Structure 1
Amino acid sequence: MFDNRKIYRVCHKKQGLVTFNVTVKETNLNIQADSDLSKQAVRSILDHRQYIENHIACFPGFADSMTPLSSPGIAPKIISEMTQAAKTAGVGPMAAVAGAVAQSVGRDLLQWSANVLVENGGDIFIKSDTQTIFTIYAGSSPLSMKAGIKVARRAASFAMCTSSGTVGHSKSFGKADAVSVLADCCALADAAATSLGNEIQTPKDIERAIAIGKNMAGVQGIIIISGKQIGLWGALELIKL
């Protein structure tokens, strides 16, 4: 049996950066930075996990809602971003949790490193001074590991998040082999990938799902793989590997 996590972590490795893994409870991050920032990353994970755990203790519905929730009012940034991302994508707030954690930790680490990449279960926050090529792991699809996404260098941080109904343990109501979403906000990219993945039962659903995603404010690019079919839209370039 292949370790899917190891496969896609090798696929997005950037030259010149130091790579390290950090685990806190259920959170396991693969991080790339200008230097080893393991201690800073652990502290950041603990802080942001505590924000989420405290919020769930006060509002238990936050943990299991499958639909968007109303604004939490005054709340930690990670809670507000998860809530807004879920509202935009039409899913529950925990659909954005992996991306939100990656983003929150990545932002914290930018204090010590100009280049930061944080991957959390296939959801990636990145700030890099070079272009980035993402290899798409799509399980048993014949397009898996043969198609890549090239994103030009960006002045600001951005996110590429992937959801699958056939690979991994993420909850999905669809059967897409891979749905990847590009956005400035990692929480939004995560929630949108989950939402669009839910729309895919057969390859015939790709076009309709992309049409839905195009109308999600903040979504900048979409790639969907289902079996032998692939759909692409937005500010990214599909390349053959």
Structure 2
Amino acid sequence: MEYAERTYRERVRGKGMVSFPLCVKESDLLISVDRGSFRPELKEIAWELLSRCRESLERYVRRDPEFRWTLAPRPILPGAPRVARLMAAAARRSGVGPMAAVAGAVAEVVGRGLARYAREVIVENGGDIYLKTLQPRVVGIYAGKSPLSEKVGVRLGPCSQGWGICTSSATVGHSLSFGSTDASVVLGTNAALADAAASTLGNLVHREEDISPALEKVLEIKGVRGAVVILGDKLGAIGAVELVPM
């Protein structure tokens, strides 16, 4: 697993970017900002953003313990923090539990916070990515033992509003998946949504015949821009994703 994570993170590092790791409890992020915007204080700002995000979510889960465990969408309580609202909205659109969106939501909150200080920002959280870019970027797809693993990437165009690109897998990492994919990747308008929708996509694919209908179903989710599935030596893609060889 260390090899998978290290390799994936090398694919995330962008040209002209300064990268640094950030760990708070279970959260293990790799943050990159454009070289022109980088200054040492950004590390402290990032730490504060992540710490506040985690603390607010932990407090909320104590109010509503079911929020953490349910596998179905759950209504949000009054006064919920932004990270919980993002998770709940993504879960509602995607038909999964809110925790399916937690890694993407944390990346989104930290990334948008840092975007106030940097022209370009990439926040990677366990393979789930928030990305604000002013130039094209390529994100490689790690798909475990699939022969297509690290052979293909997704090229993302400039987006000043930010992209979310997230991955779920039944064979790599700690994602809870009821399917069989080596990688289910979703590009969305925010990282929380992309994370939840990637879980939905992964849950729908058990064999090759499931790939096309699953991709079509996920593309119907509001805010999903495109998706990719890797299952063994099979690959399917739909929507606004440009695949490139790595």
Q: Could you tell me the TM-score, scaled by structure 2's length?
A: 0.95
The whole-number CA distance in structure 1 between the counterparts of 2:244 and 2:16 is 23
TM-aligned CA deviation for residue 208 of structure 1: 1.6
Distance 1:143 1:79 in 2: 35
Do the aligned residues in 2 keep the contact of 1:85 with 1:187 (CA within 8 Å)?
A: yes
Task: Give 1:2 shift.
Answer: 5.1
User: Which of 126, 130, 136 is the matching residue for 1:125?
Assistant: 130
What residue in structure 2 maps to residue 52 of structure 1?
Answer: 57
Choose which of 136, 145, 149 in structure 2 pairs with 1:140.
145
**RMSD, matched Cα:** 1.2
Helix, strand or coil: the match of 1:208? Answer: helix
Task: Give yes or no for contact 1:151–1:235 (8 Å, CA) kept in 2.
Answer: no
**2:178 is paired with a residue of what secondary structure?**
coil
Report the AA paired with residue 151 of structure 1: L
Q: Larger deviation: 122-131 or 203-212?
A: 203-212
Which residue number in structure 1 is paired with residue 213 of structure 2? Answer: 208
1:235 maps to which residue? 240
| Aligned match of 2:194 | 189
Contact 1:203 1:227 in 2 (8 A): no
Q: Once the 2 structures are TM-superposed, how far is the Cα of residue 3 of structure 1 from its aligned partner?
A: 2.1
CA distance in 2, matches of 1:140, 1:124: 22
Per the alignment, in what secondary structure is the counterpart of residue 159 of structure 2? coil
Deviations 1:141-191, CA, capped at 9 Å, x for gaps: 111111111111123211100111111111111110001100111100000
Aligned to 2:119: 114
Residue 103, structure 1, aligned to residue 108, structure 2:
yes
Q: What CA distance in whole angstroms lies between the structure 1 residues aligned with 2:53 and 2:160?
A: 25
In 2, Cα distance between equivalents of 1:142 and 1:2: 19
- Distance (Å, rounded) in 2 between the aligned partners of 1:25 and 1:58: 20
Q: Which residue of 2 aligns with 1:77?
A: 82
Q: Are 2:73 and 1:68 aligned?
A: yes
Percentage identity across aligned positions?
A: 41
Is 1:27 the counterpart of 2:44 in the alignment?
Answer: no
Structure 1: where are the runs of 5+ without partners?
none
Letter in 1 for 2:137: T
* 1:171 corresponding residue in structure 2: 176
Output the TM-score relative to the length of structure 1.
Answer: 0.97
Q: Judge conservation of contact 1:158–1:184 (CA < 8 Å) in 2.
A: yes
Match of 1:218 in 2: 223
Separation in structure 2 between the aligned mates of residue 205 and residue 72 of structure 1, nearest angstrom = 36
> Relative to structure 1, is the Cα distance of residues 2 and 60 closer, same or farther in structure 2, using a 3 angstrom cutoff?
closer
The Cα offsets for residues 94-119 of structure 1, whole Å up to 9 and x where unpaired, read as 10000000000011111221111000
Shift of 1:74: 3.2
The residue aligned with 2:14 is 14
What is the distance in 1 between the residues matched to 2:121 and 2:216? 32
